[in-house]
């Protein structure tokens, strides 16, 4: 595997539209949609956060704000305030979490460095659990992979064993349409 083989994968429940972010809606619309989705999908793991949207919303807002600020500090040029979330090379865990719904895969090499960032594991969970997360640019991630004593596959397996996956945040929707 080479860097050019790496894929970004987005998971979406079959009752949703892919490549969306509820945080991009007005607060009132976000709460209404969360309430509806939680009520319609009571037994779906992906919607437990919507059943507790009063707590999820401010945590997600805090996480996105910090991601955005740090990405700018690292030289990123975000267009959106709230990114679209992907996983590098996919995740069996998240695929099941979204009830094996819609999967969208995009080659990482199509995404310019100034509109994508990465965290080891889920950024919101890390912030909640540890009070922080490490944000990486594409170049920083590639350097970490290159510096790793092993193959790209071994690096990804090491990250999966420790963090479940590498989350990717795409900050410009137009980058996905290239």
Between CA 70 and CA 78, with CA 75 as vertex, the angle to 5 degrees is 70
pLDDT at 111 over 90: yes
- Give the SS3 label for residue 166: strand
Backbone angles phi, psi at 119, to 5 degrees: -135, 150
pLDDT tens profile 36-87: 999 988 877 778 788 889 999 999 999 999 999 999 999 999 999 999 999 9
DSSP codes of every residue in 22-44: GGGS-HHHHHHHHHHHHHHTTT-
Residue 178: pLDDT band with limits 50, 70, 90: low
Domain boundary assignment for the chain = 3-177
pLDDT tens profile 136-163: 999 999 999 999 999 999 999 999 999 9
pLDDT at 125 over 90: no
Give the distance, in angstroms, between the CA of residue 63 and the centroid of all CA atoms in the same chain: 11
User: Rounded to an integer, what distance in angstroms lies between the CA atom of residue 3 and that of residue 108?
Assistant: 8
Closest-CA residue to 118 (of 67, 169, 173): 169
What pTM, to 2 d.p., does this model score? 0.93
The answer to whether the beta carbons of residues 98 and 46 sit under 8 Å apart is yes
């Amino acid at each position: 595997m080479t860097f050019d083989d790496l894929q970004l994968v987005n998971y979406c429940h079959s009752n949703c539209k892919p490549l969306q972010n509820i945080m991009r809606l007005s607060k009132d619309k976000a709460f209404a949609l969360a309430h509806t989705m939680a009520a319609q999908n009571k037994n779906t793991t992906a919607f437990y956060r919507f059943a507790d949207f009063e707590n999820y919303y401010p945590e997600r807002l805090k996480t996105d704000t910090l991601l955005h600020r740090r990405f700018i500090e690292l030289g990123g040029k975000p267009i959106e305030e709230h990114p679209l979330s992907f996983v590098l090379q996919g995740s069996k865990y998240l695929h099941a979490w979204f009830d094996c719904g819609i999967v969208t895969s995009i080659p990482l090499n199509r995404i310019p460095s100034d509109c994508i960032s990465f965290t080891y594991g889920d950024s919101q969970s890390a912030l909640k659990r540890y009070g922080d997360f490490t944000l990486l640019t594409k170049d920083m991630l590639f350097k970490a992979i290159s510096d790793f004593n092993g193959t790209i596959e071994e690096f990804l397996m090491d990250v999966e064993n420790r963090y479940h996956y590498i989350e990717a945040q795409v900050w410009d929707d137009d980058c996905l349409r290239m």
